[in-house]
Copies of this chain bind each other. A is one copy, B any other.
Amino acid sequence: MNSEFTIAVHSLALLAHIPEHMASSELIAKNVCTNPARIRKIMSILRKNGFVKTKEGIGGGYILACDPNEVTLAEIYCSISNGTLKPHWCSGDPQEACQVSANMHGVMDQIFTEAEMYFTKYLEQITIQTVLDKVRQGCQENSQQ
């Protein structure tokens, strides 16, 4: 998995943090610590999925178009990074006579797909607002564990 999911969550939390204003890709990029083009690419996907509204031209940028209490990280993950949990490399060789070698790829694929469902089920419990609240608390839960 690459970091686009993380960046999407960060960006949406930031927009939820300043619900009154439009934020430019440059502003978001600085906050996230990446470059504006990458932000624009990710925000473009988020727009197509209805999470944000965008406005081109002077004074334009991005603004939240959803209720941060309603949208879960699962929806964001599915929009941006669905199916990227499993590694790219594949084990075994379908041409092999040995069943273990021939079928392992399919079996691991199945396992990772199902594992991703569990992963997603957890993300369903977290909303953009949850993330924003944690961020505003300075992530104090860390020190209590």
Contacts and interface: CB of A to CB of B under 8 A. Distances in A.
Contacts of A121: 118
Contacts of A119: 115, 118-119
Contacts of A106: 139, 142
Interface in A10-27: 10, 13-14, 17
A92 B139 contact: no
Nearest to A123: B115
Contact of A91 (B7, B104, B122): B7
Interface stretch (A45-53, A63-71, A130-138): A130-138
Given A119-B119, A122-B114, A92 B33 contact: yes
A113 B118 CA distance: 14
A78 interface: no
Contacts of A110: 134, 139, 141-142
Given A6-B91, A9-B108, A118-B121, 14 more contacts: A2-B89, A3-B87, A3-B88, A6-B108, A10-B92, A17-B100, A33-B90, A33-B93, A99-B136, A99-B138, A102-B138, A103-B138, A106-B139, A115-B122
